[in-house]
Amino acid sequence: MNKLSFQHRLILLSASIMTIVLMLFAAESYFLIKIKMGNDLDKELAHESNEILLTINWRGNQLIITDEFEWKETHHLSGSDNPIYLVIYNSNFDEVIKSSNLEDAFWSVPQDKFVQNQNIFYNSLLSGQETRCLIEPIKNGDSTLGWVVTMSPLKKWNNYLTGLLTIYGLTFPIALILTILGISYAAKKTIQPIKDITQFVHNIKSSKLDKYVPVPDTGDEVTYLAETMNELLLRVDKSLVQIKEFSSNAAHELKTPLTIIQSQINALRNNNNDIIKPIDTIQNEIVRLTRIIENLEILMNTESSSRLDLNQKIWINDLFYEEMSRFEILIKAKSIELTIDEIPSMQINGDPYWMKILVSNLLENAIKFSPNGGSLSIKIQLQKNKLSILFINDFIPKHNVNIDQLTERFYRGKSDQIGSGLGLSIVKWIVDNHSGRLHFEVNTSFTVRVHLPIQR
């Protein structure tokens, strides 16, 4: 069954269920009809027995019929299509009188069926035919004078039940075939949109991921599947574009420092007298290459990190002072006027490893884009249950800044500064995974604002 297609499995399972349902319906209806017919026949026999009891009387051991008309009704006479047979026995189990339609019949009543205080229903044989019988005692106070036996042949009822089984036997295969055809059609119509989506996705090439799956206007699971596929294709397309941009940028970024290093080495070979400046340049380019590689490693960690340890306690003052000490030389080298509010001595919940990278990247970014002799202000504010961190410098971009693209991977604005385009993307990932928010503001200064929850 596992080798069958989904559509065929659906048809097979549905047909099996419908077969069981039809069989249960046929069996239940047959037995309900049989029980109903048996109850109706017993009621009819009881009614006839009561009618006969009203037409007889006893004087001693002598039976007197007070109303002979009841005995002459059609169903008590010979040749009736729906006969009811009557027999009266006395207390000695002797036959006293019987209806005329029993003149040529033969039957026997077991003596244990003659019960004094209870009506007895049972099946017997009358001239070889199955018959339903009722034996009702004839009472006179506490004494039993005899019994009335009413009988009706079961041939008519048995023929009816046989005909019912025949009808079921003929209609069941037809109903099953029609059911399978209906299920097949419904399954085909139901599965077709999924087949269309599968075929459409199968035909999409990696170079043409801008095509999207047609979304059916049904509002059901198929619509949700198509929308999910389109979201997936959009993410894949965006990732491929970023990978292409990264390949181009990374090749350029890694090639340029190596070219500079090579040229400086050549300069060293040709001019041993002026060696200090080339060595400094080589060192700077090596640092730049190292930083690019570090950012790439961090970026790979963001892809592979499925869970951060957000329950550790982090001292904000220790975190900032430690990271600021790392950039102290760079700040002095650019003659940046650093203004920092008093850092509160408090703890927040977070992942220490990633929070350290967060502060380091924000500091490096702020220093890198601050002009020589410029100013950099760092503010830390407490607002209810969140901590706000602001980095404000007097860097004014020469070109319009697309705020929405600043945190995209490998995006680099049109500035004089050279970077890998990874730092703010990593910052955004860390902030998001700490349930925080990241904002940028550009007016007379450039502001990076980070909001982090104090507790989770």
Domain boundaries, the chain: 6-160, 204-303, 305-453
Show Cβ contacts of residue 38 under 8 Å, excluding neighbours closer than 6 positions: 132, 157
Do 150 and 119 meet the contact criterion of CB atoms below 8 Å apart? no
Nearest-angstrom CA–CA distance, 367 and 377 = 10
CA distances (Å), 417 to each of 260, 367, 410, 420, 421, in order? 17, 11, 14, 10, 11
Which amino acid, residue 118?
Q
Looking from the CA of 373 toward its CB, the CA atoms found within 13 Å total 0
User: What pLDDT does 130 receive?
Assistant: 92
Which H or E element spans position 452? strand 446-453
Pairing relationship of beta strands 337-340 and 375-383 according to DSSP bridges: parallel
User: What pLDDT does 354 receive?
Assistant: 87
Low-confidence ranges of the chain (pLDDT < 50): 409-411, 414-420
User: What pLDDT does 143 receive?
Assistant: 84
Show Cβ contacts of residue 453 under 8 Å, excluding neighbours closer than 6 positions: 348, 349, 385, 386, 387, 434, 435, 436
User: What pLDDT does 266 receive?
Assistant: 67
DSSP E strand stretches across 232-374: 312-315, 337-340, 347-350
Place of tokens 């729906």: 82
277 conformational bin, left if phi > 0, alpha if psi -120 to 50, beta if neither:
alpha
User: What pLDDT does 420 receive?
Assistant: 47
Dump pLDDT digits (tens) for 106-155.
Answer: 888 888 899 888 999 999 998 889 999 999 999 887 888 889 999 999 98
Residue 439: closest CA among 413, 406, 412:
406
Which amino acid, residue 278?
P
Nearest-angstrom CA–CA distance, 376 and 374 = 7
Nearest-angstrom CA–CA distance, 219 and 225 = 10
Do 388 and 451 meet the contact criterion of CB atoms below 8 Å apart? yes
**Token output for 455:** 């507790």
With respect to CATH, is domain 305-453 assigned 3.40.50.300? no
Give φ, ψ of 97 to 5 degrees: -155, 150
Nearest-angstrom CA–CA distance, 366 and 48 = 109
Nearest-angstrom CA–CA distance, 20 and 18 = 5
For residue 332, give the 3-state DSSP assignment: helix
Give φ, ψ of 213 to 5 degrees: -65, 130
Nearest-angstrom CA–CA distance, 103 and 80 = 14
User: What pLDDT does 187 receive?
Assistant: 82
**CATH top-level class for 6-160?**
alpha beta
User: What pLDDT does 418 receive?
Assistant: 44
Nearest-angstrom CA–CA distance, 363 and 392 = 10
